[in-house]
Amino acid sequence: MKITCRLGAALLLGFIGHAAAQGVPETEMKSILAEFDGYLTATDPIRAEQRGDLAALPLWPDESPQAIAGYRATLLDIQQRLNRLAGARLSAEDALNRDLLLERVYLDLTGFDFDEARIEINTGDGFFTVPAYAADGVILRSETEARAWIRKIAALPAYYAIEIENIRRGIKSGWVRPRLVAQTVTKALRTQADLAPESHTLLRPLAALPKSVPAEVQARLRAEALQVVKTQVKPAERAAAEFMEREYVPRSATTIGIVDLPADGNRTGLAYYDYVIRRHASTRMSPQEIHQLGLREVARIRKEMEALLAGIGFKGSFAEFTEFLRSDPQFRARDVDDFTTRVRDLGKQVDALLPQYFRTLPRLTYGVRKVPPEMKDSSSGYNPGSPEQGVAGTVLINPDAPEHSPMYGVPAWFVHEGVPGHHLQIALAQERFDLPKFRRTDDINAYVEGWALYSEHLAVEMGVYRTPYEDFGRLSLEMWRACRLVVDPGMHAMGWPREQAVAYLRDNTALSQATIDREIDRYIGWPAQALGYKIGEIRFRELRAKAEAALGPKFDVRDFHDAILVDGPMPLDILEAQVARWIKSRQ
């Protein structure tokens, strides 16, 4: 799940002011963490509600200028207090908290400085998909909670209105998304607006109320909610679609590179691209350095692919082999139900292998299901669960999967989205109730996606890939992520047209043409996000190689995985320092 919510300015009251005990670092750090917890609740009530915070249940993100000014003031206060702790004698845990929090605060403040609220839509996600994410992770257990949820439904038009005003500010400043992104978002909004009110995603939590709520009360609550959807939500959705059609699309950008955004004071498109590279890829490499790294990775993986082709005795060219994979019926599921059944069967096979490679496993389970229609264009393949709410994690299957996802690539895709990829890593962090909230739920892209891609390679050791075709599927998915390092900076910083990026993916992967088109449009709409996968995976594999070399026969992969997972997600440089300390302790 790739969405950042900043909301609920009212909840910040009481956190800006503080009376920290100066000179007592432990007390001061505890106070800072409490203040940041308040900021998290205010800026992300969606996750707060999924943690069981009933006060956040009726709230939507609040990215109004007034709210953001309050968030910024809170972060500046936290930043100053953290800086005053430089050189203080902190415990190892508090020192780690300080380092992690300094980076998180810097990234959030910089995002506010760029006024990201004016451009927070991309090809598959934005304010219009927030309701589906909110509904997917909540369980209502009483009439009181159900009525809070109905208040949330009634508040959706105000949330949409703020988001549209922010986007209008983007139009005025020239900070707008490319035309193809605007058209895709418009189509999604129109589809959402045209869905029957009875099918609205926000009604689903009310359909699963417990028996402790009397049947007649349940019927009344559902009727009230449906009326709100018909009379308030649907008009707001239609207005949002009309805004995109009439105002945004005609004024959207005619170029695709983020560096083409006009200078707005000291805020340039190139500076913004450098910033999102640091945020999404946890690196300070330049676009050109990332591009060259991608070219090297593509060449390396291509050699592995060609060796595999020679091993199975295929006589044709690489292009002929990829066309064979794209078109042969043996690699296709019959339909989405057949696809889903195969994925579930694979999941149980992988589950049985996990204890050999992981000493600590999450208690939270996961399931597999099809995505709802309104989420069809989202790039998310996994939705986190909630230990607090009793909600399992979910591996998501797109209705188009049988057409666009051949079965030889499914094992690598599943271990990425499910176990030992996203579900295992995210659930382990969620269950560390002794850690500060931000460390349990932080979505550090290069760590989260880097681990999931590392998991695809780990599955070789685990014996998940049973045929040469499935191993080629893994290599093809790795090649896909390596190509991202080439095409993302190519389009956003080096002037590549869309057609050149499409051709590069087509020539180097076995992805279907429809998938290639969808992926390239995703990179156009979400600059730098796709860079985190390969950059993170490279660092994970480097850290493991260092640990194996340093520890020799003392190395145990289960302990190594504990060392990099159980403390929660973190930026890659901080993770490297953590692993170095772990190696030293084992020596």
pLDDT tens for 78-119 read 999 999 999 899 999 999 999 999 999 999 999 999 999 999
Region 461-467 average pLDDT: 97
Cβ contact 255:182 at 8 Å:
no
Work out how many domains the chain is built from and give that number: 3
Do both 109 and 155 map to the same domain? no
Which band of pLDDT confidence, cut at 50, 70 and 90, is reported for residue 493? very high
126 domain-assigned: no
pLDDT of residue 373: 67
pLDDT, mean over the chain: 93
322 domain-assigned: yes
CA-nearest of 397, 416, 561, 396 to 476 is 416
Do both 354 and 215 map to the same domain? no
**β-sheet with 393-397: strand ranges across:** 366-370, 393-397, 382-383
Cβ contact 381:393 at 8 Å:
no
Per-residue pLDDT of 291-302, as tens digits, reads 999 999 999 999
CA distances (Å), origin 486, targets 192, 275, 297, 306, 491:
34, 18, 10, 20, 9
C-alpha–C-alpha distance, residues 313 and 493, integer Å: 41
As a whole number of Å, the CA-based R_g of the chain is: 24
Q: What is the dihedral of CA 82, 86, 90, 96, to 10 degrees?
A: 60
The backbone region for 390, taken as left when phi is positive above 0, alpha when psi lies in -120 to 50, beta otherwise, is left
Do both 296 and 337 map to the same domain? yes
pLDDT of residue 150: 98
Do both 14 and 160 map to the same domain? no
Domain termination residue (choose one: 501, 521, 537): 537
Which band of pLDDT confidence, cut at 50, 70 and 90, is reported for residue 376? low
280 domain-assigned: yes
Per-residue pLDDT of 283-333, as tens digits, reads 999 999 999 999 999 999 999 999 999 999 988 888 888 888 878 888 889
Look up residue 67 and give its two tokens.
Answer: 């709210």
Do both 376 and 345 map to the same domain? yes
124 domain-assigned: no
C-alpha–C-alpha distance, residues 2 and 329, integer Å: 33
Do both 160 and 39 map to the same domain? no
Do both 54 and 203 map to the same domain? no
393 domain-assigned: yes
373 domain-assigned: yes
Q: Which amino acid is at 100?
A: L
Domain termination residue (choose one: 515, 537, 559): 537
Region 370-390 average pLDDT: 81
Do both 298 and 234 map to the same domain? no
Q: Which residues lie closer than 8 Å to 211 by C-beta, 6 or more apart?
A: none
Do both 318 and 183 map to the same domain? no
C-alpha–C-alpha distance, residues 425 and 419, integer Å: 8
Do both 297 and 349 map to the same domain? yes
Cβ contact 442:568 at 8 Å:
yes
Do both 173 and 315 map to the same domain? no
422 domain-assigned: yes
Q: Which amino acid is at 95?
A: A
C-alpha–C-alpha distance, residues 167 and 172, integer Å: 9
Do both 441 and 334 map to the same domain? yes
Question: Three-class SS of residue 95?
Answer: helix
Region 38-53 average pLDDT: 92
Q: What is the largest CA-CA distance in the chain?
A: 74
Domain assignment of residue 199, given as a range:
148-254
259 domain-assigned: no
pTM (two decimals): 0.92
Who has greater pLDDT, 139 or 20? 139
Which band of pLDDT confidence, cut at 50, 70 and 90, is reported for residue 362? very high
pLDDT of residue 374: 62
